[in-house]
């Protein structure tokens, strides 16, 4: 398990990791399958959160860029992810 857990990181192959989920998407329900996968992988492989989020968004875009226009922070692409430090009015 230890080898499988870190082999992409140790071989400098993090650009090959794509996160996904089979959680159904319905109106009024926000699936968190990918979010949980990113948190899990980040904590197990000791990868900084910003790197794990970039893997989840950017790697998926690189693979599906023929069909989608979201996933990277780049001119001409649509936004699909918000990073919020804290909610206004909350400490």
- Specify the pLDDT at position 25: 65
The reply to whether 91 falls in a domain is: no
Is there a domain that residue 35 lies in? yes
pLDDT at 1: 42
66 in a domain, yes or no? Answer: yes
Total domains, the chain: 1
43-48: which pairs have CB atoms within 8 A and are 24 or more residues apart?
A: 44/5, 45/5, 45/6, 45/8, 45/9, 46/9, 47/9, 47/14
Structural domain boundaries, residue 56: 1-22+31-84
**Residues linked to residue 70 through DSSP beta bridges, in sequence order:** 78
Per-residue pLDDT of the chain (91 residues; tens, 9 = 90+): 444 555 666 667 777 777 777 776 666 666 677 788 888 888 888 888 888 888 887 777 777 777 777 767 777 777 766 666 776 776 5
- Asked whether residue 14 is assigned to any structural domain, the reply reads yes
Give domain status of residue 89, yes or no.
no
């Amino acid at each position: 398990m230890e080898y499988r857990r870190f082999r992409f990181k140790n071989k400098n192959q993090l650009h090959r990791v794509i996160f996904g989920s089979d959680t159904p998407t319905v109106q009024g329900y926000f699936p968190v399958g990918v979010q949980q996968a990113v948190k899990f992988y980040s904590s197990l492989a000791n990868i900084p959160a910003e790197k794990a989020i970039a893997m989840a968004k950017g790697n998926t875009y690189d693979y599906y860029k023929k069909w989608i226009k979201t996933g990277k922070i780049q001119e001409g692409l649509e936004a699909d992810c918000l990073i919020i430090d804290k909610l206004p009015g909350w400490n």
